[in-house]
Amino acid sequence: MRISQKVTRKLITLALIVILSAIFAATAPSFLKLRNVQEILRVAAYTGIICVGVSFVLIGGGIDLSSGGIICFTGIIACRLAMLGLPWPVILLAAVVVGAACGFFNGWLITHFYLNDFITTLATGFVFSGFGLLVIAKEPNGTVMSQTITNRGFLVLGKHVGGFYYIVIAWILLTLVAWFIQTRTRYGLHTCATGSNAKSSEMSGVNVKRMKISTFTICGACCAIGAVFTVAYQQTAYLSLGSGMGFDAVAACVVGGVMLGGGKGDAVGAFLGAVFMTLVTNGMRKYGLDTSWQYVFEGAVILIAIMSDAGFAVFSARRLRALSEKNANEEALLEARAKGGGAQ
């Protein structure tokens, strides 16, 4: 039984998670403490919810580095609305609408002006962060005001039940829904097709522009959801909220088998990638390592994943070529035998 590359990447990531957990549990006594496990899951859920949205973009053949800016903007909006005393469903809905609008803007720019995804989303990330600075509460002299949210109804989102933070529950539910959409629906099939070969998909009747815009819109909405839960936990919002999350989410997705370039991967792989990346960061802190090594590690992970995907593509192409040659030789041999038998 031949295991696909997608399944292999997931199994490797899962194995690494188990190995890292075993090492940390054996060498750092505090690793298995309930508080630490809860914190790992909470941080992983924050990254993981963003990864759910980013996975749609990557599978569709794009890349989104504006996640940090959208998180900052929607998180600050959620904070301002919470300070007004609005109920959490209204705040969550407002943030999701704004986040989805930001994602839609990304997709619209890229598809209608034929812009590069990487540069465009990198630029819009700064734009969205700037919007966050515009709407954040300020003192009369213009300095940013430090606000603590006292809206108890909203702060419930930052709490936990039965040892699980609400953000973790939301992460699991979103992952399952996204996995179903990506692997069991026509939309998911069209997303993969768009990422694999956009021109062929368009010739087959797929509206590629609409598909790409929708993936960026989903990504923006997921960023907003992650931002709302995080603001509720921290009881405030600040301008550095979401900083670096664009690269973190892409790295986690790639680790989980979501291929850069599109066409392969799903939300379950992104889920595993988020857990793995969070474990590494947590382990660095446990051992007292400088967290700046996290960026070195993330860059190395992306490079290794790209090299792995490239190597697998070359291997698959060679294997397919060899199989085609073998079939051609067999057909030629059968044809020669048939001619020889007819001549007799």
Do 249 and 133 reside in the same domain of the chain?
yes
Do 301 and 341 reside in the same domain of the chain?
yes
Do 103 and 191 reside in the same domain of the chain?
yes
The length of the chain, given as a count of residues:
344
Residue 104: count of CB within 10 angstroms of its CB: 17
Between the CA of residue 217 and those of 53, 180, 243, what are the distances in Å? 8, 18, 20
Of 275, 291, 307, the residue at which a domain comes to its end is 291
Question: Can you give the CATH number for the domain in which 75 is found?
Answer: 1.10.3470
Do 44 and 123 reside in the same domain of the chain?
yes
Do 287 and 325 reside in the same domain of the chain?
no
Q: Which residue has the tokens 């939309």?
A: 187
From the first residue on, what is the mean pLDDT of each consecutive set of 10 residues in the chain (344 residues)? Answer: 71 90 88 91 97 97 96 97 96 98 98 96 97 92 88 96 94 98 96 94 94 98 98 95 91 89 92 93 80 75 75 75 81 75 55
Task: Determine the 3-state secondary structure of 65 from DSSP.
Answer: coil
Do 99 and 195 reside in the same domain of the chain?
yes
DSSP 89-125: HHHHHHHHHHHHHHHHHHHHHHHHTT--HHHHHHHHH
pLDDT at 156: 97
pLDDT at 31: 87
Domain count, the chain: 2
Do 312 and 263 reside in the same domain of the chain?
no
Do 48 and 136 reside in the same domain of the chain?
yes
Burial 245-265 (b: 16+ CB within 10 A, else e): bbebbbbbbbbbbbbbebbbb
pLDDT at 206: 95
pLDDT at 323: 81
Q: Which domain holds residue 105?
A: 5-291
Q: Which residues pair with 160 in a beta bridge?
A: 165
pLDDT at 291: 67
pLDDT tens for residues 269-297?
999 999 999 998 888 877 777 767 777 87
Of 252, 276, 291, the residue at which a domain comes to its end is 291
**What pTM does this model have?**
0.90
Q: Give the C-alpha separation, 152 to 163, whole Å.
A: 19
Q: Give the C-alpha separation, 176 to 271, whole Å.
A: 10
